[in-house]
Structure 1
């Protein structure tokens, strides 16, 4: 793997008294996440992609999670990576274990690593315990926060307290966007600068050729979990308002890709408000299916306001679609107003932005051409370089 002999032979207690190999060399990495495959949410998908790209670069990568798999507990191989599952019989298979620190410490002692990379949301009890285990073993640790919280969110206050403690332990704190990083910095003023480690995509996997569309219809698309936090019902109200503002000569149509607990309510809303001609539900689609929907679409819309990044919006932007989103979100990491799309401060502003692109085909074409001709910087080579730099910083390396 590229390790020096003395690194392989060093006793467990001494291994982490020496600096890990610097950026550009091979290191042993353990990613810790409450949820992982077979769950397929945003954090799980990004951790999987990051781990696979690191392994492809020659690093030795493993996963520690509280999510059951083929094996409820123990280690199995997924995507060629060792996945250690530390689970307890909790109602609903919640990713919680009463002795997280003990079991994670044992896993790290059995399979020593050079750096632990912990991925947390606003509530991540398993990850919190793993951070304590890594600190106990004096392993360099990077924590990436994959969420943002509002001023009244009590879980956010708890996370703020923990981040402040972790910083005193010498742990490197990061977030997936500048917006998320600033949220942490405001919540923990003594922390200083929070690193930004953005999510990444394989840009070439999303690029599409130009297709001619019917100029009398503005085809919208969104890809999301149909859940209250993603604001499914507000999106339907936005589309309804946009159609009213666009007038009878222009049809607006939304394809809503995804599934979740709010789907039945959303379908009822569409039926009750006579929106069947404006909204289609596709259910969950794989990569090829989403690409095909993107190819039929003119604009991507993202209604959520507590979005720390917005990976589906980045994929749509790579496909050449202008993105309409709220200006308070982490999507502004890669969407600038009137550059890659349109940003709005309110839902009413989003409806107006949709109506404006329905009317102004020149602006629609301009935004689309920019996105097709200019690749986003959040590609995996850039993301991997940022992550390697964070690992070096965790060991105070230049």
Structure 2
């Protein structure tokens, strides 16, 4: 099968859609499919205007134009993409939608106009764009024309179904993860008596990782952790490491300084996958207070690494974290603070959840997700 993956954003930009689309391409190729990517993101050397360069063996069509801030937008792209899709012998188009996706939206129209089977996946919650989609009726028309609609979690799928109508099927097509890459090398507490003594002497290490953007609520990480430390017993020590970078950094640093948290809070910046994995393996709890979280790939990575996850109940994290089994879920920041304080003081609960997470891998392993992609493509093709 020859698959076109169409997305506003792609590498070298770094984010959820970019990395997931890249990894999906790799795993589809590993299953014998031919894959090409079409994107409005310039290449690492500024490639645009339809230049095709491979990224890890996958041809990437850079349909970008020069815009301020390298915005991934090109309203002039549809005719050229239409020509390339028509002449390229593609069997299916898989369009990846974000919060605002003008390029991807155009690509749906292009694919359906060519009668090319189309799978459309939302990587976001449609809360902000839902009124516009309802008024325009685009998503509903896409479903009516046979496009296979999906979203990355059950919460996000319900969000899409609320827009397109519940008579149009919306499947869950989750983000994927390399389970073996993130899995911790041994069960918790395997270091022997001396290791256990060292563990007991150090603080409970809480970790979080995200873009420092207001939508991700990095300030709430500090606020929840600060409140949890106040709620925990006096003898229960904890530390917080918040990985990431972005426009909210100054607000975070100001909060740490104003509340005198510098002795137990660290903001080391953005790190690569290997360093982040090592940090997860050396930590005790993962915290994410994001509200508009369609999936939560960082939380899935932490859960796969064996960490109990503290997160909101009404997000995509609930697809791989069962409350009391893989972590603790709450309805608001106050409940998250109480849940985190509980894990800080209850070593037995932490170890029980960590053991479960290390011995029971999540269902979102990449081979299973790639097989789901094939089923979505078959659904798009119809009987």
TM-score relative to the length of structure 2: 0.93
Provide the residue aligned with 1:282 in structure 2: 268
Deviations along 1:78-121, one digit per CA (max 9) or x if unpaired, are 11010001112222211111223212202212322000000001
In 1: Cα distance, 2:111 partner to 2:323 partner: 41
**Does the 8 A contact of 1:149 with 1:306 survive in 2?**
no
Q: List aligned pairs for 1:318-397, cutoff 5 A.
A: 318-397=304-383
The reply to whether residue 72 of structure 1 matches residue 58 of structure 2 is no
The reply to whether residue 170 of structure 1 matches residue 146 of structure 2 is yes
Deviations along 1:217-260, one digit per CA (max 9) or x if unpaired, are 22111111011000011111111100000132112211111111
Give the deviation of 1:215 after TM superposition.
Answer: 5.5
| SS in structure 1 of the partner of residue 38 of structure 2 | strand
Provide the residue aligned with 1:56 in structure 2: 30
Query: Of 281, 285, 301, which aligns to 1:299?
Result: 285
**Does the 8 A contact of 1:259 with 1:283 survive in 2?**
yes
TM-score relative to the length of structure 1: 0.90
Provide the residue aligned with 2:213 in structure 1: 227
In 2: Cα distance, 1:96 partner to 1:165 partner: 23
Provide the residue aligned with 1:10 in structure 2: none
In 2: Cα distance, 1:228 partner to 1:159 partner: 24
| SS in structure 2 of the partner of residue 328 of structure 1 | coil
Moved more, 107-116 or 213-222: 213-222
Moved more, 229-238 or 162-171: 162-171
**Does the 8 A contact of 1:178 with 1:330 survive in 2?**
yes
Give the deviation of 1:165 after TM superposition.
Answer: 2.0
In 2: Cα distance, 1:196 partner to 1:363 partner: 31
In 2: Cα distance, 1:375 partner to 1:97 partner: 41
Provide the residue aligned with 1:146 in structure 2: 123
In 2: Cα distance, 1:371 partner to 1:55 partner: 29
Query: Of 71, 84, 92, which aligns to 2:61?
Result: 84
| SS in structure 1 of the partner of residue 200 of structure 2 | coil
| SS in structure 2 of the partner of residue 144 of structure 1 | strand
In 2: Cα distance, 1:127 partner to 1:312 partner: 24
Provide the residue aligned with 1:159 in structure 2: 133
In 2: Cα distance, 1:376 partner to 1:28 partner: 29
Deviations along 1:183-238, one digit per CA (max 9) or x if unpaired, are 11122325433111111111000111235533552211111101100001111111
Give the deviation of 1:72 after TM superposition.
Answer: 2.3
Query: Of 102, 111, 116, which aligns to 1:125?
Result: 102
- Aligned-residue RMSD, C-alpha: 1.3
| SS in structure 2 of the partner of residue 249 of structure 1 | coil
Give the deviation of 1:279 after TM superposition.
Answer: 1.2
Distance change (3 Å), C-alpha of 1:123 and 1:159? farther
In 2: Cα distance, 1:43 partner to 1:215 partner: 40
In 2: Cα distance, 1:169 partner to 1:387 partner: 19
| SS in structure 2 of the partner of residue 49 of structure 1 | helix
**Does the 8 A contact of 1:122 with 1:159 survive in 2?**
no
| SS in structure 2 of the partner of residue 214 of structure 1 | helix
The alignment of Structure 1 onto Structure 2 pairs a total of residues equal to 368
Query: Of 232, 235, 260, which aligns to 1:246?
Result: 232
Q: Unpaired runs of 5+ in structure 1?
A: 1-26
Provide the residue aligned with 2:19 in structure 1: 45
Deviations along 1:307-355, one digit per CA (max 9) or x if unpaired, are 0101111111111111010001001010010011100001000000010
| SS in structure 2 of the partner of residue 133 of structure 1 | helix
In 1: Cα distance, 2:246 partner to 2:233 partner: 32
**Does the 8 A contact of 2:7 with 2:96 survive in 1?**
yes
